[in-house]
Structures are given as structure tokens and as C-alpha cells.
């Protein structure tokens, strides 16, 4: 008699999810079944917004609202408590506000769950929650709007703060040169190449993001507490503190240093493990390339999912 193959261990989540996600035709049913199980644990409806952090088209844009509305419609006619599980590199602050407007119109209470990353505009979405749920792998980011620019014919995104800081540094260097009676034409030449209107728009977007974050903190997380909201947004938007737009703000820092209302789930917590499993299922499914026309490939860049709705945005690769 042939020896039995050793049983595959089921405790490590990554391996278990990898096997399931590779069978991507069954992936949607697997994910939606897990959403139902999580809802049984929380007694709240769960909406999933999962965007690629590797593809440029994963950035948050106004087009997301069309799909987000479908998820909210699945909540039914009555207001119910809602969890929004979000994974995003960030993007348009106005889209973040529209997501919150749409959500608060349909939900009796709102929590935001961050299993991995909610950066920039994703952090702004979290500001509109009564509570943020985070775990060992979770991170928020500084609130700094991103601007689309063309570099070598390829669209890229630059932090608004970097645009403003570069311009202000040139102005400072010019003034210092003039005060010291040193040549300053090099700085003048570079400044003349800058688009002042673009720099001013970057300034306005930074202020808009701060004001929006404060408005939602006052509405949801710290009702009526304008001072607390201002303190939090000042900490989240201060480039001198964070230095980098991509800086990690983990759960403990978000709670203890930034001042956000954060529920931290430990690694072995049953709810956290279910949320982490769902995140990995989402991530593997998003990461699978599909064949496109003329030998090209198509990437899934965003997933919008509830227990009954499953919608995806796609974009070309290369």
C-alpha cells in the first residue's frame, strides 16, 4: 500500500490563500463566502475596495464612484452599520470625499478597516470613520495630494508638497543670493521655467485636503471637536515630520502619536485572520494578468466587492 501524502498544513494563511487564488475561476465565490463569514463575526455589512499598489491605474479616481455606488446599493433600503475594507495607494481627494458622502448616506455607522495600506486619499477616507480597524500589517500614510505629470512620455504622480517645496526652495535661494550680492540668474532662469499657477494649485490642494480631513473628523470620529481634528490633520500633513509621502504610519503610531481612534487587532485574533485572508485573496486575484489583444496583457487594477456584488476595473500592461 502506497504511503499517504502528508496533509497540507492549513494554519499558515499565505499558503492556503495561494492555493485558492490560483484557482481564480472559483476566487469570487471564495471571497464572497468569506465576506459573509466576516459579517457574521462583526454583525456589520462589509464593503471591499481593493486597488493595485503596483499599477499606475490603481490610483483613486472619480471613475471609482460608479462602481462604489453599486456596492452601496447592495446595502438595501435601510441604514445599516457598515465596514469599508480599503487597500489603496491613494489618489484624488475629491473622490475620497465622494466615497464618504455616498457611504454616510447609506450607513447607520461607518468603520474603516485597513488590512494593509490606505495611503494619502485612502487615509482621508479613514478620517470619515467612527473608528479605524488595523492589525500587525496595517499602515496609513501622510495626507498629501498627488499631481499627474508626464515624465519621459509616461504619466507619473508627484506629491503636491514636493512641488511646493521645490518652488519655495528656489525662491529662498534666490533671495539669499540677492541679499549676499551674489549672482542669482541661475535661480531666476529655473523659476521662470516653473508654472506658478500649477504651484498655486498644489498649495490649494494641500489646504483642501487638510480642511476635508478636519471636516470629516468633526463629523464622524470626534463629533464637534474642531481642536482635535485640527491637531490630527496638522500631524498628518506636516512634511517636516513625515519627510516622505510613502512613510508608514502603523496602528500604534496612528493611535498614540497621531491621535486617531484606532482598534488594533492582534495577529492571532480570529477577526484579524479572516480579514487578512480576505486581503490576500483580493491581492492574488488582482495580481493575475489576463490576455489582451495582439499579445498584450490586461491587469485587474481595482476590485469592488460585497457578498453579492463583484466588479472589477482593468487596464493595459506596459
| Mean per-residue pLDDT, 7-30 | 62
Dihedral pair phi/psi, residue 49, rounded to 5°: -125, 105
Helix (H, G, I), strand (E, B) or coil at 287: helix
Rounded to an integer, what distance in angstroms lies between the CA atom of residue 316 and that of residue 296? 8
Question: What is the pLDDT, as a whole number, of residue 198?
Answer: 82
CATH topology of domain 14-146+216-316: 2-enoyl-CoA Hydratase; Chain A, domain 1 (3.90.226)
For residues 102 and 203, the model is more confident at 102
Nearest to 306 by CA among 131, 103, 2, 18: 103
**Per-residue pLDDT reduced to its tens digit, 130-178:** 999 999 999 999 987 777 777 777 667 677 777 888 888 888 887 888 8
**Per-residue pLDDT reduced to its tens digit, 117-130:** 999 899 999 999 99
- Mean per-residue pLDDT over the chain, rounded: 87
Question: What is the pLDDT, as a whole number, of residue 25?
Answer: 47
Q: In which band, very low, low, confident or very high, does the pLDDT at 18 lie, cut at 50, 70 and 90? A: low
Rounded to an integer, what distance in angstroms lies between the CA atom of residue 73 and that of residue 63? 17
Nearest to 39 by CA among 13, 74, 69: 74
Question: What is the pLDDT, as a whole number, of residue 68?
Answer: 96
Question: What is the pLDDT, as a whole number, of residue 150?
Answer: 72
For residues 107 and 173, the model is more confident at 107
For residues 23 and 48, the model is more confident at 48
Looking at the chain, the whole-number percentage of residues with pLDDT higher than 70 is: 87
For residues 270 and 242, the model is more confident at 270
Pairing of strands 107-114, 154-159: unpaired
22-56 core/surface letters (b: 16 or more CB in 10 A; e: else)? eeeeebeebbbebbeebeeebebbbbbbbbbbebe
Q: In which band, very low, low, confident or very high, does the pLDDT at 8 lie, cut at 50, 70 and 90? A: very low
Full-prediction pTM beyond 0.85? no
Rounded to an integer, what distance in angstroms lies between the CA atom of residue 172 and that of residue 296? 48
Question: What is the pLDDT, as a whole number, of residue 9?
Answer: 47
Question: What is the pLDDT, as a whole number, of residue 296?
Answer: 86
**Per-residue pLDDT reduced to its tens digit, 188-205:** 787 787 888 888 888 888
**Per-residue pLDDT reduced to its tens digit, 247-294:** 799 999 999 999 999 999 999 999 999 999 999 999 989 988 888 888
Rounded to an integer, what distance in angstroms lies between the CA atom of residue 203 and that of residue 191? 17
Q: Report domain extents, the chain.
A: 14-146+216-316, 149-197
| Mean per-residue pLDDT, 27-49 | 95
Q: In this model, does residue 230 exceed pLDDT 60? A: yes
Amino acid at each position: 500500500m502506497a504511503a499517504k501524502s502528508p496533509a497540507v498544513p492549513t494554519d499558515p494563511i499565505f499558503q492556503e490563500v495561494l492555493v485558492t487564488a490560483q484557482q481564480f475561476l472559483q476566487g469570487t465565490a471564495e471571497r464572497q463566502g468569506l465576506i459573509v463569514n466576516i459579517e457574521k463575526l462583526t454583525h456589520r455589512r462589509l464593503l471591499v475596495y481593493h486597488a493595485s499598489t503596483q499599477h499606475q491605474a490603481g490610483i483613486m479616481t472619480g471613475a471609482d464612484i460608479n462602481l462604489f455606488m453599486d456596492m452601496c446599493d447592495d446595502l438595501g433600503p435601510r441604514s445599516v452599520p457598515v465596514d469599508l475594507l480599503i487597500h489603496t495607494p491613494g489618489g484624488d481627494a475629491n473622490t475620497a470625499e465622494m466615497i464618504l458622502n455616498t457611504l454616510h448616506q447609506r450607513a447607520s455607522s461607518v468603520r474603516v478597516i485597513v488590512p494593509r495600506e490606505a495611503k494619502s486619499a485612502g487615509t482621508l477616507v479613514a478620517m470619515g470613520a467612527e473608528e479605524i480597524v488595523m492589525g500587525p500589517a496595517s499602515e496609513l500614510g501622510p495626507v498629501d495630494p498627488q499631481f499627474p505629470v508626464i515624465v519621459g512620455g509616461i504619466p507619473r504622480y508627484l506629491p503636491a508638497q514636493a512641488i511646493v517645496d521645490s518652488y519655495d526652495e528656489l525662491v529662498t535661494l534666490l533671495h539669499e543670493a540677492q541679499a549676499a550680492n551674489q549672482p542669482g540668474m541661475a535661480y531666476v532662469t529655473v523659476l521662470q521655467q516653473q508654472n506658478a499657477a500649477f504651484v498655486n494649485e498644489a498649495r490649494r490642494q494641500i489646504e483642501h485636503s487638510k480642511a476635508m480631513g478636519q471636516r470629516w473628523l468633526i463629523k464622524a470620529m470626534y463629533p464637534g471637536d474642531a481642536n482635535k481634528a485640527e491637531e490630527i490633520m496638522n500631524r498628518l500633513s506636516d512634511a517636516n515630520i513625515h519627510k516622505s509621502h510613502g512613510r508608514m504610519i502603523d496602528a500604534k503610531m496612528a493611535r498614540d502619536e497621531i491621535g486617531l481612534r484606532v482598534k488594533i487587532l492582534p495577529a492571532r485574533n480570529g477577526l484579524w485572520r479572516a480579514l487578512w485572508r480576505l486581503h490576500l485573496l483580493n491581492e492574488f486575484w488582482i495580481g493575475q494578468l489576463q490576455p489582451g489583444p495582439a499579445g498584450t496583457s490586461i491587469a485587474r487594477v481595482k476590485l469592488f466587492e460585497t457578498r453579492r456584488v463583484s466588479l472589477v476595473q482593468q487596464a493595459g500592461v506596459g
